[in-house]
Structure 1
Amino acid sequence: MCGITAIAGKKINPKQYKTEAMLQLLKHRGPDGRGEIFFPNCWMGHRRLSIIDIDKGQQPMTDKNFTIVFNGEIYNYVELQSQLKKEGCKFKTNSDTEVILKAYQKWGHECPKYIDGMFAFAIWDNKKNELFIARDRLGKKPLYYFFDKNNILIASEIKALIASGTLKPEIDYKAIDNYLRVMYIPPWKSVYKNIHQLPPSHCGVFKNGKISLKKYWQINNSPIKISYHEAKEELIRLINEAVKKRLTTSDVEIGTFLSGGIDSSLITLVAAQESKNKLKVFSINYSGHEEYPFAKQVCQKIKAEHHIQQVEAFVPSELEKVISYIDEPHADTADFPHHLLSQLATKKVKTVLSGDGADEIFFGYKWHTQNKKNTDIFDHRINSICVFDEEQRVALWQSKKYINDDIIAKKNYKKNYTSMDKVAMFDLSSHLPGQILARADRASMMHGLELRSPFLDTNLIEFVFNLPIEYKIHKGEQKYIIKDILNQYMPKSFVYRKKQGFGAPIDGWLENNKNKEYIYTKLGYKSKIRNILSGAAIDQYLNNFYIQNKKDKRAGQRIWVLLCLEIWLNSQVRSTYEK
């Protein structure tokens, strides 16, 4: 895993841009090394976290007229390398970076279709004066860009673009409206009008001052007719294969994140089964997080080396640290614990496996089944994640000017989709990359830790997406098939229990008197959030939680979303948020 950046256009003058500052702000993503290269019409920079071919995998890497900077891991690079060798390609390294470079020479703009992994990369063709960029299918790795007249600047993180010295970011208040609704910025945009995010499963070509984007992958909607027993056996094979290739595609030791929940427990159990060494496992324990005893139970079963991050209380400075780092408003309650857990893990390993993605593909959230009003299940899914509804957002903005519904990537939805297909597509194309994967990447990479998610293996996702719904939800039991598989390792009392989740117990933390004082100060009359949102509306939400005794079940969540927005605003340059 690494940090990448590049500038392309015409007659690039490196002195015009603060390239060293851009690289320095990506150091956390790649603490093991730095590299840069200059061409008349392009500059490329790289910060390296050494995982594969530690001695020879330095970047930027050049072959003939092509130079690459790459962030991620390619799990089928050995197979691709073998295929390319048979077709006459010669390799100087054993790195997945060189495999992408050769694949591009072989298949051109179609090369992302052949790659199995998590990635964001840029390839400069010095002969054609053309920059090719690509991002993985689900958006595990980020890639942002902006235009400086006829030039394009790209980077793994927004902060590196701003550091160039040529960009004055302009807040997109419509994106802020999306955040107020769903707690994150949709993964096809950024919080700034003049900074763009390459959408998941897209590639693009920048040439002659213009960029053209293309979607290279769409999940195949072909329902599978298969018996439950056959589906279970195939799923076991796919999970084992997904874990194994994420363990073996590395020259460094790999551990796991273990909350004690269904998903991370299964991944940890399979990893222990596939690992040659004693597995290093990392868990977090705090009051209100009832799954820690289950994590301990898994570790005792596999005789793991168990490392625990104990959290006694909410620490505002740590929340401020992770929210400021993320570069955009983000209010996942797991941001804070994930940051602390990554900080612990990076002292022992460079890479971990996680259970991310299982809830999305196996329908594990409460909104997948709880529909008391008997509305359309897709409408129910969208409404269930609404923190501030339209009426409440109008009151916050004191206007309808920024109200919008751009939280659904409508182009991904086919006409023949059922309501449940739409739910699955929303989870995969909006919620997963915007909320879960953004948190997973930033909270781990701020500590130079690579996180891999076996449940998000392409083959596994395409198989599960097309399974009969009753294999995922059976007689009210969610994630039915995955629990059935876990039951082969753990007793029923472990498997069939109430879902807890990895998020922090925010209501309890916010009620603490010391934290209450912090909240009132942070959201008080001097707060920056009141420059863009109604102070009277903010005061009303504070009253709803602290004075009216939480009559609204979302009262604490709304305070959290406003707090995270205020923290983010405080981390920005003042001129970007004044209306």
Structure 2
Amino acid sequence: MCGIAGFVDASIKPGAGEELIKKMLFGITHRGPDCSAHWSEFPVVLGHNRLSIIDLVDASNQPMHYQDYVISFNGEIYNYLEIKEELLKMGFQFSTHSDTEVILAAYKAWGEDCVKRFMGMWAFAIWDKVNRVLFCSRDRFGIKPFYYIFGSGVFYFASEVKALKHSPIFNGQINNRQVIRLLQFGWADYKDETFYESVKSLPEASNLIFKNGKIEIKRYWDLSEKQIISEGSFEERKEKFKSLFEDSIRMHYRSDVEVGAALSGGLDSSSIVAVAANMFPEKTIKTFNIFYEGSGAVDERPFVYELAKKYKNIDPYYYSPKDDELLDALDKVNYHQDVPVPGSSAISQYFVMKMAKGNNVTVLLDGQGADEYLGGYMHTFNRMIGSQLQNKKLLKALKLLQLHKKEHGLPGKEAAMVLLKSFYTASHNESGIYNFDLKRIKPLLNRKFKDMSGLM
């Protein structure tokens, strides 16, 4: 990852602006230890902390210039080589081998629509010197963070909230609506809201244009039902998924530094590592696993052993954090997360990343996010069964319920509760479902928090 920061603020004097961007970047140094730099043409200032992944030379440091454009970019465009080839045929020239320069050339070629061609994860800001426009964008699923503050015609942005706390227009007032969402649902964000009233998060799959002291946010992509349900038999759809899955891993391996993997032993990470090991038999793949001993032990190493036994190019590493390490890690994780941590997985991830860094691995593949789009959570089944009920396919709904009951060993009472929730989801939209849950905690809230309006 890299760290981006910047602002457009005519009230800041050049000298003060230089000091301000340095403070913003220093707060997120951990995101990019390889190079920290900034560019200014007041009232515009862009800053960048680089973690070098592609084209490791200094010429690919940022902020990067391309004709009349300057960019600060965090992420990776996996299909940059294909886009670059298309741009070369159009007559564009390049002085680096980076994906950053491809973004700039693509923006010059296609304007705001360039992001529709990108496959990857990104958060960036491009300053157009001629048209005096700041063009910002975030990837389709919001993998890369983009926070901002806007008010009185000025605009500040950064990869993390802690960098924005240096902004003169930052307001530390807590957003109580988000606090309630965290306590009830475990949500760290919601739409464009954060835990601070003054700080917003650019929604996933969205562009933000700042011009003449005003902002405009446009959604450039959405997931339609036609994109989810493909035609053909189950076997044909299975092969299509397999092809896309393999293609994704092949593109994720585009890197000029060593690529490893977080390997919990679960279905998601094991599938990724197995495909990568088979796809790149000439590469040694370092994998990293955290396990816990003692009371409440969690140890999935046996599953990793089986994978390492089958694929000889897997080089597994293991670590079990001690109690005192966990306590120390909690403070560090809370600092880096910038928000209250709703669960323990972030702490385990911290030790995985620490172990990878200690073994000189900069890029990790892992199964994070698979449950979200492959229906891996228990509450997902309420929606799946509910959608069948909504379409008046009762037998199919009951069949799904039986499969769910058998797979998870649910007793009859719990299965009946799943069915009741499914009927509820069939007759209510998502906001209605969540508002129903929120009403259950209303008696527990004090008078200050009892107004639940605006939560959904």
TM range (shorter): 0.7 to 0.9
Using the TM superposition, give the Cα deviation of residue 35 of structure 1 relative to its aligned residue in structure 2, in angstroms.
Answer: 1.2
Partner Cα distance (1:323, 1:131) in 2? 31
Aligned to 2:242: 236
Native 8 Å contact 2:149 2:157 kept in 1: yes
Determine if the alignment matches structure 1 residue 322 to structure 2 residue 333.
Answer: yes
Aligned to 1:353: 365
Aligned to 2:347: 336
Aligned to 1:301: 310
Partner Cα distance (2:365, 2:102) in 1? 23
SS of residue paired to 2:420: coil
**Aligned CA distance change for structure 1 residues 258 and 379 (closer, same or farther; 3 Å):** farther
Native 8 Å contact 2:35 2:49 kept in 1: yes
Specify which of 212, 218, 243 is matched with residue 216 of structure 2. Answer: 212
Partner Cα distance (1:113, 1:208) in 2? 25
Determine if the alignment matches structure 1 residue 264 to structure 2 residue 269.
Answer: yes
**Aligned CA distance change for structure 1 residues 378 and 195 (closer, same or farther; 3 Å):** farther
Q: Write the letter of the residue equivalent to 1:213.
A: I
CA offset digits 1:281-321 (Å, max 9, x no partner): 00011133242211222123213211112124472231122
Partner Cα distance (1:157, 1:47) in 2? 12
**Aligned CA distance change for structure 1 residues 404 and 105 (closer, same or farther; 3 Å):** same
Partner Cα distance (1:402, 1:338) in 2? 36
Aligned to 1:47: 49
Q: Can you give the 5+ residue segments of structure 2 that lack an aligned partner in the other structure?
A: 382-403, 405-414
Using the TM superposition, give the Cα deviation of residue 386 of structure 1 relative to its aligned residue in structure 2, in angstroms.
Answer: 10
Determine if the alignment matches structure 1 residue 85 to structure 2 residue 88.
Answer: yes
Q: Percent identity?
A: 34
CA offset digits 1:56-100 (Å, max 9, x no partner): 311001122110000000001000000011011111111000000
Determine if the alignment matches structure 1 residue 255 to structure 2 residue 260.
Answer: yes
Partner Cα distance (1:203, 1:190) in 2? 18
**Aligned CA distance change for structure 1 residues 393 and 346 (closer, same or farther; 3 Å):** farther
Partner Cα distance (1:194, 1:209) in 2? 17
Partner Cα distance (1:187, 1:196) in 2? 9
Partner Cα distance (2:343, 2:205) in 1? 23
CA RMSD of aligned residues (A): 2.3
Native 8 Å contact 2:170 2:199 kept in 1: no
Native 8 Å contact 1:137 1:217 kept in 2: yes
Specify which of 264, 273, 276 is matched with residue 278 of structure 2. Answer: 273
Q: Write the letter of the residue equivalent to 1:324.
A: Y
Q: Write the letter of the residue equivalent to 1:190.
A: T
Native 8 Å contact 1:3 1:46 kept in 2: yes
Using the TM superposition, give the Cα deviation of residue 380 of structure 1 relative to its aligned residue in structure 2, in angstroms.
Answer: 5.9
Aligned to 2:102: 99
Using the TM superposition, give the Cα deviation of residue 9 of structure 1 relative to its aligned residue in structure 2, in angstroms.
Answer: 4.1
Aligned to 2:411: none
Aligned to 1:545: none
Native 8 Å contact 1:177 1:404 kept in 2: no
Native 8 Å contact 2:263 2:273 kept in 1: yes
Greater Cα offset, 3-12 or 154-163: 3-12
Aligned to 2:410: none
Aligned to 1:478: none
Q: Write the letter of the residue equivalent to 2:37.
A: G
Aligned to 2:374: 362
Native 8 Å contact 1:179 1:330 kept in 2: no
Q: Write the letter of the residue equivalent to 1:172.
A: N
Partner Cα distance (2:3, 2:449) in 1? 39
Native 8 Å contact 1:9 1:208 kept in 2: no
Aligned to 2:65: 62
Specify which of 368, 388, 397 is matched with residue 446 of structure 2. Answer: 397
Using the TM superposition, give the Cα deviation of residue 166 of structure 1 relative to its aligned residue in structure 2, in angstroms.
Answer: 4.5
Partner Cα distance (2:421, 2:454) in 1? 18
Using the TM superposition, give the Cα deviation of residue 333 of structure 1 relative to its aligned residue in structure 2, in angstroms.
Answer: 2.4
Aligned to 2:185: 182
Using the TM superposition, give the Cα deviation of residue 148 of structure 1 relative to its aligned residue in structure 2, in angstroms.
Answer: 4.9
Partner Cα distance (1:98, 1:115) in 2? 13
Native 8 Å contact 2:9 2:43 kept in 1: yes
Partner Cα distance (2:436, 2:309) in 1? 39
Q: TM-score, normalised by structure 2?
A: 0.84
**Aligned CA distance change for structure 1 residues 64 and 368 (closer, same or farther; 3 Å):** closer
Using the TM superposition, give the Cα deviation of residue 399 of structure 1 relative to its aligned residue in structure 2, in angstroms.
Answer: 4.4
Aligned to 2:204: 200
Using the TM superposition, give the Cα deviation of residue 12 of structure 1 relative to its aligned residue in structure 2, in angstroms.
Answer: 4.7
Using the TM superposition, give the Cα deviation of residue 151 of structure 1 relative to its aligned residue in structure 2, in angstroms.
Answer: 1.3
Aligned to 2:420: 375
Q: Write the letter of the residue equivalent to 1:178.
A: R
Native 8 Å contact 2:260 2:365 kept in 1: yes
CA offset digits 1:447-480 (Å, max 9, x no partner): xxxxxxxxxxxxxxxxxxxxxxxxxxxxxxxxxx
Aligned to 2:398: none
CA offset digits 1:127-174 (Å, max 9, x no partner): 121111000000000000002532101000000110235523221111
Using the TM superposition, give the Cα deviation of residue 230 of structure 1 relative to its aligned residue in structure 2, in angstroms.
Answer: 1.1
Native 8 Å contact 1:181 1:385 kept in 2: no
Native 8 Å contact 2:329 2:347 kept in 1: yes
Aligned residues: 406
Using the TM superposition, give the Cα deviation of residue 187 of structure 1 relative to its aligned residue in structure 2, in angstroms.
Answer: 4.6
Native 8 Å contact 1:259 1:284 kept in 2: yes
Partner Cα distance (1:141, 1:72) in 2? 7
Specify which of 190, 204, 221 is matched with residue 225 of structure 2. Answer: 221
**Aligned CA distance change for structure 1 residues 356 and 404 (closer, same or farther; 3 Å):** farther
SS of residue paired to 1:335: helix
**Aligned CA distance change for structure 1 residues 70 and 270 (closer, same or farther; 3 Å):** same
Partner Cα distance (2:211, 2:434) in 1? 40
Using the TM superposition, give the Cα deviation of residue 179 of structure 1 relative to its aligned residue in structure 2, in angstroms.
Answer: 0.9
Native 8 Å contact 1:41 1:129 kept in 2: no
The structure, 1 or 2, with the larger RCO (C-alpha pairs under 8 Å, 6+ apart) is 1
SS of residue paired to 1:286: coil
Aligned to 1:8: 8
SS of residue paired to 1:346: helix
Q: TM-score, normalised by structure 1?
A: 0.67
CA offset digits 1:390-439 (Å, max 9, x no partner): 343442334454525645xxxxxxxxxxxxxxxxxxxxxxxxxxxxxxxx
Using the TM superposition, give the Cα deviation of residue 387 of structure 1 relative to its aligned residue in structure 2, in angstroms.
Answer: 13
Using the TM superposition, give the Cα deviation of residue 234 of structure 1 relative to its aligned residue in structure 2, in angstroms.
Answer: 1.5
Aligned to 2:251: 245
Partner Cα distance (1:399, 1:388) in 2? 19
Q: Write the letter of the residue equivalent to 1:201.
A: A
Native 8 Å contact 1:120 1:143 kept in 2: yes
Partner Cα distance (1:42, 1:377) in 2? 51
Q: Write the letter of the residue equivalent to 1:289.
A: V
* Superposition map of 1:373-522 within 5 A: 373=417, 374-377=419-422, 379=424, 389-404=438-453, 406=455
Partner Cα distance (1:21, 1:402) in 2? 38
Native 8 Å contact 1:74 1:116 kept in 2: yes
Using the TM superposition, give the Cα deviation of residue 175 of structure 1 relative to its aligned residue in structure 2, in angstroms.
Answer: 1.1
